[in-house]
Amino acid sequence: MPTNQFTMQDPRSQYQMGRTEKDSDQPDPGLDEILKPKADHGEDTYVGSDRLKGRKALITGGDSGIGRAVAIAFAREGADVVFNYLASEEADAKVTLDILKDSGIKAWGIAGDISDESFCNDLVAQSVENLGSIDILVNNAGKQQFVAELDDLSTEQFCQTYATNVFAMFWITKAAVKHMPPGASIINTTSIQCYQPSAGLLDYASTKGAITSFTKSLAKMVIDKGIRVNGVAPGPIWTPLQQSGGQPAKKLPEFGDNVPLGRPGQPAELAPTYVYLASQESSYITAEIMGVTGGQHLP
């Protein structure tokens, strides 16, 4: 593992997960607390340099996985952070909150289900009350459940996946833009599944297609307010999402082996892309999707 995000090494062997416990499973939504093997969110490796000093960030799904890695990176770069999580993820949220506060910034965790429109509005209101404004919005929370056969994919799951992945992004963004100043940045988490959808992820993959289009259209809609909108498309990243039904158990031992780098990515490997898109360094970038895919490139 790297000592920090600047240490040069062979990316093929940067993380060695092993296979012994990859077939473990856990309930949905998954917890990092019981993820085996553990993921790297940059807790001990991410080194900041004040690239987001004084910024105010709201991150959905910030308790674990990609969201936790982004929250840690933002905090280490000097941003105050509010992150959202489900009440059942309280154990992970407490760990994340402690890490953020140890970075010397102000941080809050707000529990609630973003598939409910009224909560989305309340989340933004609470965030603005705590932060004073919102300079960075990261729509990251997602629902992913593998279903092999079309007949087994229920209307309930299909609708819930869209409510969590797409509708919530719309509700939160609509409420947040009112509080975002010129120079603010919105970053949406889409997926390689938008471009190379897997059988068994029909609902999830199609939401990611919607997110990609939403991102590009929204960017053109809000640029007259000085707000940039971009997306990040992860490839196979090791998070609780995978071990809690996001992948079939039989595929977990080989998860991520099919990409050119030959391994799954770690949440910490995505965080710098979010930092870049949130910072002024990407001032001429909007309506773009950046892939972090281990070589399974976007079209």
Q: Give 196-231 pLDDT, tens digit per residue.
A: 999 999 999 999 999 999 999 999 999 999 999 999
Close Cβ partners of 90 (under 8 Å, ≥ 6 residues apart): 111
Q: What is the rounded CA–CA span in Å between residue 263 and residue 259?
A: 7
What does the pLDDT read at residue 281?
A: 98
A 10 A CB-CB count for 98 gives 10
CA 138/CA 30 separation, integer angstroms: 20
Q: Residues of the chain with pLDDT > 70: what percent?
A: 92
The domains found in the chain, sorted by start residue, are: 50-292 (3.40.50.720)
Q: Please tell me the distance from the alpha carbon of residue 39 to that of residue 243, in angstroms, as a whole number.
A: 12
Q: Is the pLDDT of residue 132 over 50?
A: yes
Confirm whether 85 is a catalytic residue: no
Distance CA 271, CA 266 (A): 10
Q: Name the range with the highest mean pLDDT among 2-6, 16-20, 34-38, 272-276.
A: 272-276
**What is the number of alpha carbons within 13 Å of residue 118 lying toward its C-beta?**
0
Name the least confident of 24-28, 106-110, 262-266, 289-293: 24-28
Question: What would the mean pLDDT of 3-17 be, rounded to a whole number?
Answer: 88
Q: Sign (positive/negative) of CA torsion 81, 87, 92, 94? A: positive
Asked if residue 99 has pLDDT above 80, the reply is: yes
Average pLDDT over residues 51-70: 97
Mean pLDDT of 140-155: 95
Question: Per-residue confidence at 98, pLDDT binned at 50, 70, 90?
Answer: very high
Residue range 50-74: average pLDDT?
97
pLDDT band at 109 (very low <50, low <70, confident <90, very high): very high
How many angstroms separate the Cα of 165 from the Cα of each of 5, 84, 207, 286? Answer: 29, 14, 6, 21
Q: How far apart are CA 82 and CA 127, in angstroms?
A: 6
pTM (2 d.p.): 0.94
Of 85, 195, 204, 274, the catalytic one is: 204
Whether pLDDT at 33 is above 70: no
**Average pLDDT of the chain to the nearest whole number:** 92
All residues at 6 or more sequence positions from 235 whose CB lies less than 8 Å from its CB, including other chains: 192, 256, 259, 265, 291, 292, 293, 294, 296
Per the CB < 8 A criterion, the answer to whether 234 and 265 are in contact is yes
pLDDT band at residue 20 under the 50/70/90 scheme = very low
Average pLDDT over residues 279-297: 97
What is the average per-residue pLDDT within 83-88? Answer: 96
Residue 244's pLDDT band (boundaries 50, 70, 90)?
Answer: low
Reply yes or no on whether the pLDDT at 15 is more than 60: yes
Q: Do 110 and 84 form a contact (C-beta atoms < 8 A)?
A: yes
pLDDT average, residue stretch 255-281 = 95
pLDDT (mean) for 66-84: 98
Q: What is the pLDDT of residue 233?
A: 98
For the segment 100-127, the average pLDDT, to the nearest whole number, is 98
Structure tokens at 125: 């209101």
Q: Is the pLDDT of residue 243 over 90?
A: no
